[in-house]
Chain A
Amino acid sequence: MDYDFEFESKTFPLRSMPPRGRYSISGQDSITRTLPRTVEEQKPCQLGLNLFSRGKLSEERSLGDINDKWGSTHSGVTIFAYLANKAADAFSLIVSRRSEMYTYMTCRVRADEAYPWPFTTLPYSSQSYPLTGHALSLEVLYVQLRELHQEFSQWPGSYNQLLLAGSLDYCASAVKKAITTHTVISEPVVYSLRDYYTACLSLFSQYNDFKTTIRRINLQSISDKFESLQDICSIQAVYPRLEELDISDGPSE
């Protein structure tokens, strides 16, 4: 079954768009670009998908690595995609690439033919659709925060490692709560969350090849930033401060 992918950049400019062309669903777990437009792009671009096993907005999942080039400039770069939205005739993916900020996009996929296959039969959260504007922005932010949290949670354990992983977990939970309760987060909160994400992402990029050295770094500025972020979230009634969290927030998501 072939589908046309229509890639579109929603909020941030993309440095490099994935190549346009014909993509086919080569199985429940993969999409393959089968009709490259140029000789250079002839290798199929395959996403290791696990898209439709849940089909709910609130359950984004990592889709795995790009097994091949995603455009010639992105060789070797790991890209994750997440199911962000699904409707009767289309679905959106959020694709984010680690260690760069402005790299997400949504992709709408339209079928050339009738759907033979899972996503027409899977339930989806009608509350989460349509995913536009503010909601999309939060959704993307949530994905970015959760992805970075998962990265830091796998780093060698230390005080600083838990500070980064725990604070990003807090941020992701705050955004998730806003999404699920349809709370509109004010601009200063979003700005603070983005700012904190950017600061952590910078550390990730800086120390990713020297993970054990993070324990020796003075992260006082990050710690202070996180303190003020908690204040803002608490004052704006988005999410309580860490020490005031309800016990039901204790278990991992």
Chain B
Amino acid sequence: MQRIAESAFVAYDSNCLVYYCFLVEIPETTPRICVKAIYTPQARSLTEFIISNGQKIITFTRAYDELRECIYAAVTERMTHRDIEALYGCEYGVHLSDKEKLRVLTSVEKKVRKLQNNSWFVIDKTFVPNADELRKIEAFFASQKPEDFGTSMIPSPMDREFINFGLTKTVPLITNDGGISKFARQLQGQGLAYRIFNLLELNS
């Protein structure tokens, strides 16, 4: 974590923001049931470090506006895990209802929207990605061997904007997307990115 300690701002990708907020307590349960994403502990630990260090977390408007689909993906992925189903007392083969998924979805979304009320969270409303830089980043990823991405997806247009955001604002990026963090050094070497860190590596 010390590697990001000197920057005034740290940029979180959408997943990291969702993981931080993905902590839903189900009322009236004893012991209390708490549904969280797999990487929620890492995201919260890092965020607490950043806050206590007087730093701020930053993202940009377009990424923030498109968080809903990211929340949807995280919630549906998590709520179909057998361990969560078991937590609810579902018998094997019985899945959680759509209304239960919606309960968690809306709860996470409310927390994401409340981030704006925190002094340590900033949305950059002025950022406009550089079209030339975006094309270069796209060409960079297109030139990589598919096997080098492993199980990760090739970065999306939003991911490419995120990389460009870090470079333009000279803020370190935190992501759990292997498709980005695996290529951090090469991107930096070609002048296409500022510093990029994987959420899990920062916590290790």
Interface of A toward B, CB cutoff 8 Å: 149, 153, 157-159, 162-163, 165-170, 173, 215, 242-253
Structural contact, B89 and A167, CB atoms closer than 8 A = no
Of A149, A158, A244, A247, which one neighbours B98 at CB under 8 angstroms?
A: A149
Q: Nearest 5 CB-CB pairs, A to B?
A: A166-B102, A252-B97, A250-B88, A169-B99, A169-B98
Provide the residues of chain A in CB contact with B106, threshold 8 Å.
Answer: 242-243
A–B complex contacts, Cβ < 8 Å, 25 sampled: A153-B98, A157-B72, A158-B69, A162-B98, A163-B102, A166-B99, A166-B105, A169-B97, A169-B98, A169-B99, A243-B103, A244-B27, A245-B100, A246-B28, A247-B33, A247-B88, A247-B89, A250-B90, A250-B96, A251-B89, A251-B90, A251-B95, A251-B100, A252-B95, A252-B98
Number of A-B contacts (CB under 8 A): 88
Provide the residues of chain B in CB contact with A215, threshold 8 Å.
Answer: 69
Chain B 81-108, CB within 8 Å of chain A: the 1/0 string? 0000100111100111111111101110
Given contacts A159-B69, A251-B94, A251-B95, contact A167 B102 (CB under 8 A): yes
Chain A residue at minimal CB-CB distance from B24? A243
Chain B 22-40, CB within 8 Å of chain A: the 1/0 string? 0000111100010000000
Interface range for B: 20 to 34
Provide the residues of chain A in CB contact with B101, threshold 8 Å.
Answer: 162, 166
Q: In whole angstroms, what is the CA distance A157 to B68 when docked?
A: 12
Structural contact, B97 and A243, CB atoms closer than 8 A = no
Provide the residues of chain A in CB contact with B17, threshold 8 Å.
Answer: none
Structural contact, A251 and B96, CB atoms closer than 8 A = yes
Provide the residues of chain A in CB contact with B90, threshold 8 Å.
Answer: 250-251
Structural contact, A249 and B72, CB atoms closer than 8 A = no
Chain A residue at minimal CB-CB distance from B85? A251
Q: Can you add 17 more A-B contacts, CB < 8 Å, to A166-B103, A169-B99, A249-B99?
A: A158-B69, A159-B68, A162-B102, A165-B98, A166-B105, A167-B102, A242-B99, A243-B106, A244-B28, A246-B28, A248-B89, A250-B96, A251-B85, A251-B95, A251-B96, A251-B100, A252-B97
Provide the residues of chain B in CB contact with A245, threshold 8 Å.
Answer: 99-100, 103
Structural contact, B27 and A243, CB atoms closer than 8 A = yes
Structural contact, B72 and A159, CB atoms closer than 8 A = yes
Q: Smallest Cβ distance from B147 to chain A, in angstroms?
A: 28
Given contacts A162-B102, A242-B103, A242-B106, contact A250 B72 (CB under 8 A): no
Q: Smallest Cβ distance from A59 to chain B, in angstroms?
A: 16
Of A157, A170, A247, which one neighbours B102 at CB under 8 angstroms?
A: A170
Is B76 part of the binding interface, using a Cβ–Cβ cutoff of 8 Å? yes
Provide the residues of chain A in CB contact with B107, threshold 8 Å.
Answer: 243
Q: Smallest Cβ distance from A184 to chain B, in angstroms?
A: 23
Q: In whole angstroms, what is the CA distance A109 to B94 when docked?
A: 36
Chain A residue at minimal CB-CB distance from B107? A243
Provide the residues of chain B in CB contact with A157, threshold 8 Å.
Answer: 72, 76
Chain B 135-177, CB within 8 Å of chain A: the 1/0 string? 0000000000000000000000000000000000000000000
